[in-house]
Amino acid sequence: MLVAIAERLDAWVVERNLEARAEGMLTHPPCTIHLLGQTALLELGVPLRLAVTNDVDVHANYGAAIEAELRRLLKQAGKELDPLGEEVWMPRETRYQRLYAGEFVTLKVADADAVLISKALKAPRKNRALIVEYLARGATPRFMQLAHKYRVDLEAFL
Amino acid sequence: MMDAAELQRRAKRRVAQLDRRRRDPRYQRVLGRLVGLGLLTTNESVPQTREPIDVADALWAAEVEPRIAELLPALLVRRPALFAATDALPDDLAQAVAALRRNEVPAEFRGVPGVNLHRWLTSVGRKSEPPSRLKAFRLQASDIALLTRLREELGITETAVLRRGLRALASATWLREQS
Query: What pLDDT, in 10s, does the model give residues A45-70?
Result: 999 999 999 899 999 999 999 999 99
Q: Dump the DSSP string for A62-128.
A: --HHHHHHHHHHHHHTT-EE-TTGGG----TT--EEEEEE-SSEEEEEE-HHHHHHHHHHH-TTTTH
Q: Which of A100-109, A132-141, B89-98, B124-133 has the lowest mean pLDDT?
A: B124-133
B83 — phi, psi (to 5°)? -105, 150
Alpha helices in B37-119 (DSSP H): 55-64, 66-78, 91-101, 114-118
pLDDT score recorded for residue A78: 87
Mean pLDDT value across chain A = 94
Mean pLDDT value across residues B164-175: 81
What Å distances lie between residue A29 and A7, A21, A25, CA to CA? 16, 12, 12
Note the pLDDT of residue B44: 85
- Give this prediction's pTM: 0.79
Contact A111, A81 (CB under 8 A): no
Q: For A135, which of B1, B11, B66 is closest by C-beta distance?
A: B11
Of B11, B70, B112, the CB nearest to A136: B11
Mean per-residue pLDDT for B145-169?
A: 88
Distance separating alpha carbons of residues B35 and B111, to the nearest angstrom: 22
**Residue A155 with chain B: CB contacts under 8 Å:** 1-2, 7
Q: Are A151 and A125 in contact (CB under 8 A)?
A: no
Closest C-alpha to B113, from A124, A128, A78: A124
Average pLDDT over all residues of chain B: 88
pLDDT of residue B4: 80
Interface check for A153 against chain B (CB to CB < 8 A): the answer is no
Task: State residue B66's pLDDT score.
Answer: 92
**Least confident window among A50-64, A125-139, B52-66, B159-173:** B159-173
- Residue B138: half-sphere exposure toward Cβ, Cα within 13 Å: 0
Cβ-Cβ contacts under 8 Å between A and B: the total is 80
CB contact under 8 A, B7 and A129: no
> What percent of chain A clears pLDDT 90, i.e. is strictly above it?
87
| Closest-CA distance of chain B to residue A12, Å | 25
Per the CB < 8 Å rule, is A53 touching B7?
A: no
A157 chain-B contacts, CB cut-off 8 A: 11, 14
What percentage of chain B carries pLDDT values higher than 70?
A: 93
CB contact under 8 A, A138 and B43: no
A158:B10 CB<8 A = yes
Q: Find which of A38, A43, A54 to mutate to test the B interface (most B CBs within 10 Å of its CB).
A: A54
A13-46, pLDDT tens digit by residue? 999 999 999 999 999 999 999 999 999 999 999 9
Q: How confident is the model at residue B129 (pLDDT cuts 50, 70, 90)?
A: low
Query: Phi and psi (nearest 5°) for B33?
Result: -65, -45
Instruction: Give the CB-side neighbour count of residue A67, counting CA atoms within 13 A.
Output: 14
CB within 8 Å: B7 and A132: no
pLDDT confidence of A74, banded at 50, 70, 90?
Answer: very high
